[in-house]
Amino acid sequence: MTNTDNKGFVRPVEEYRVTDYGLYMSRHAPGHPRFDHLESWLLPALGLRANIFHYQGGYREGQRLYLDVGSFAGPDDAGRWYAEDWYLDLVDVPGTPPVLLDTDELLEAHRDGLLDTAQCVEAVEIATRALVGTAEHGNDVQAWLDAAAGGVVAFSDHDHRRGGAR
């Protein structure tokens, strides 16, 4: 199995698992200056891709999850999954409320015709559900993800409440 990123780079996938609620993918990131491993869940019903970037050298220390808002689907008849990033992101540092990022990018994408109004409205609604749901779970993004997805959204960094991956 491979992973093709938005720039067209095809990389081998170390592990993948399909569940009733999404696709888990784990792969190395050879040559990347800031992280050496990426874990991602595509969660179509939530409109989210939940990522853990295993950063090197203390970069973004404390950050656990990075949530991309967008349209995610799969598998198709050939077993492929699809991801379209809608620019809004949420960053999880355990013990603090998540932070919403890149509202400027969402508005620029709309201005430039990359996203239509309906997609922008849906992106804001997805981010709002994530923020409210996380608040209802004591600002524990992982607890909200597990509840909202309907199953455990498991990553390899089992002790996520430590405040960082690996």
The closest alpha carbon to 5, from 158, 161, 31, belongs to: 31
Distance CA 53, CA 67 (A): 11
Distance CA 81, CA 79 (A): 7
Give per-residue pLDDT as tens, 94-115.
889 999 999 999 999 999 999 9
Its pTM stands at 0.87
Average pLDDT over residues 49-67: 81
Domain locations along the chain: 2-153
Give per-residue pLDDT as tens, 10-22.
877 888 899 999 9
Per-residue model confidence (pLDDT) at position 158? 36
Q: Two tokens at 128? A: 């709002």
- Please tell me the CATH code under which domain 2-153 is placed: 2.40.380.10
Per-residue model confidence (pLDDT) at position 164? 40
Per-residue model confidence (pLDDT) at position 33? 67
Per-residue model confidence (pLDDT) at position 59? 62
Q: Two tokens at 78? A: 């050939």
Per-residue model confidence (pLDDT) at position 86? 98
